Structure 1
Amino acid sequence: MAKGVFLHRADSIYDDRPEERYQFPSQYLSRASQFVGDWVVYYEPVKAGKKGYFAIARVEEIVPDPTIANMYLALIEPGSYLPMEYTVPFNDHDGLVERGLLNESGKISGRAQAAVRPISLEDFNRILERGIPDVDDMLPRTDASEPKVVESHFSETVEPFIFDQERERISSISNRLVRDRVFRKIVLDAYDCRCAITGFKFINGGGRAEVEAAHIKPVEANGPDIVANGIALSGTVHWMFDRGLVSLSDNLDILVSRQVNDSDRIWSLVNPSRKAELPRHPTLRPHPRFLEWHRQNCFKC
């Protein structure tokens, strides 16, 4: 096994869905096969956007693409995909982040152009430390102390005691505390800390947004921790959304269940347009397949 990098563009011609699959041509098969059972980091080239290194995931298996000859799919282990809290640039104040791309002359080699490439544990750790730091800069919503998050980066040493720590750190990437922290931040950033249903944006005295990050398709139903499966909601609206009392159409109209005992009061909370207030960028808005799941499996018509 080995860790790797998958290049991905939002406007990619490939049939990628980063949280589920990564499509690549046969020329990369032997290289990508090394990543099965291990982690990869997704990278968006500078010319394609500003993301840089933006997510990690574990490769579960690689299979031939049943629809196109000489193409393959790296299938992502369900629930392993995790966006970065902070996107990591190709270069930062310390220079090149993925230093394995430097040649003997200290210049960027042609390996940087490879869509699928291995990455050293040291470089992977460096990206992870910058993208998912140990310190949570989002203040607690209440004064209650929160459980301490286990350190999320990986150790490179092979000493027995450190090796045990490394296993714990790898496990912490799938730890719900870490994933919820990351999910909350990326969703609230996308929605500017504003409730999509009411339009309210409240910040408490401690600087904490009084809005929550809700999964549209819940984790228990294998809903991914991505912005397109998230929506920012105030506490009461979040409760109603989870219980199917409110939902959204594919056109992002707000829906209120006919089974609600006081629909007039609920509509009074809804923003006057009766459309959800969503991120400007289309890729950050709720994906129709998740909205459909919510209407079919949760919403009480």
Structure 2
Amino acid sequence: MAKMVLLHKVDSIYEDEPDAVYDFPRAYLKAMEQAVGDWVVYYEPVKAGHRGYFAVAQVARIIEKPGSAGRFLALIAPGSFLPFDSNVPRLVDGRPLERALSESDGRPKKGGAVQRAVRPLPDDEFARIVNLGLPWDLEQIEALRYAPAGHEIDEPPAPFQRPVLERLTCRAYRDVAFRRKVRAAYGYRCAMSGLQLRNGGGRPEVQAAHIKPVAQGGSDAVRNGLALSGTLHWMFDRGLISVAGDGETILVSRNKVPDEVVDRLIRPGGKLLRPDDPRDAPHPANLQWHREKVFGQVLPGDDLPWA
């Protein structure tokens, strides 16, 4: 097994979905076969955008791409994809984070390895990039984010510094990382009510909802998330509300939700608030799954507060 850097750009002509599949030609097959069972870091090339290293995932297996001779698909292990809390720049102090991209004096190389869509990543470089993108103490950072002034002078027990791979598979850590990315993508506003509520200490009321639950094969990608108020999150999970195929019309189970409740909770016009960055917009496949598997499927005995 071996870790790899995978080049990805949003407008790629290939069928890449970073949290599900990576499309590549035969030239990279040998390298990708070595990555099976191991982790990869996604990298956005300079001409495609500013993100640099932006996510991590684990490769489950490789298959031939149906109907495309000479192309292959790396299938991403369900639940392994995780966007970085902060995108990692290509250069730190003017030097590449990958030794293979550096000249002997530390200056960045040009061409060659820099242009390769798949390239090996030594374990120490993988750890450094992940630590920059997903700090080991992210849970503590979030816990203290809205702490009252002066609280930071207290000295709580130092949190346990989990090794990188243990951290990437820890559900509690991943939940914090997911919540931070989704809420930020929507400007800490509820995507369905449009409200941006904060408590007295400035802590956002909005929550991060998985559109397709991780337990059902959903990922921790921002495109599988919605920022929702507590009540709307509860309604979304129970199939009382969803989003139409246009990706913006809010659907309501009218036989279960009274009009007066809709009028109070859903933003005027009934349209979903979209993230500023279109790359963070809900993925159509995730919304379709929710409509088909959850919407309107309220279980008998699930008491409704307005019933």
> How does the TM-score come out when normalised to structure 1?
0.87
Distance 1:214 1:225 in 2: 10
Q: How does 1:1-301 map to 2 (within 5 A)?
A: 1-93=1-93, 95-109=95-109, 110-136=112-138, 137-139=141-143, 151-154=161-164, 170-251=165-246, 252-300=248-296
Structure 1: state its 5+ residue gaps: 155-169
Report the AA paired with residue 138 of structure 1. E
Tell whether the 8 Å contact from 2:240 to 2:256 is kept in structure 1 after alignment.
yes
User: Shift of residue 175 of structure 1?
Assistant: 1.1
Report the AA paired with residue 124 of structure 2. E
Tell whether the 8 Å contact from 1:139 to 1:206 is kept in structure 2 after alignment.
no
SS across alignment from 1:80 = coil
Render the CA deviation track for 1:222-251: whole Å, top value 9, x for unaligned.
111111111000111111111111111122
Residue 165 of structure 1 corresponds to: none
* Residues 206, 148 of structure 1: alpha-carbon distance in 2 compared, 3 angstrom cutoff: farther
Residue 166 of structure 1 corresponds to: none
Distance 2:199 2:190 in 1: 14
> How does the TM-score come out when normalised to structure 2?
0.86
SS across alignment from 1:47 = helix
Paired-residue identity, %: 47
* Residues 142, 45 of structure 1: alpha-carbon distance in 2 compared, 3 angstrom cutoff: closer
Distance 2:62 2:284 in 1: 27
SS across alignment from 1:205 = coil
**How many equivalent pairs are there?**
284
Distance 1:261 1:278 in 2: 24
User: Shift of residue 71 of structure 1?
Assistant: 1.1
Q: What is the aligned-residue RMSD (CA, Å)? A: 2.3
Render the CA deviation track for 1:40-73: whole Å, top value 9, x for unaligned.
1000012101111011111111222222111111
Report the AA paired with residue 252 of structure 2. V
Segment of structure 1 superposing worse, 260-269 or 180-189: 260-269
Distance 1:208 1:46 in 2: 35
Report the AA paired with residue 267 of structure 1. D
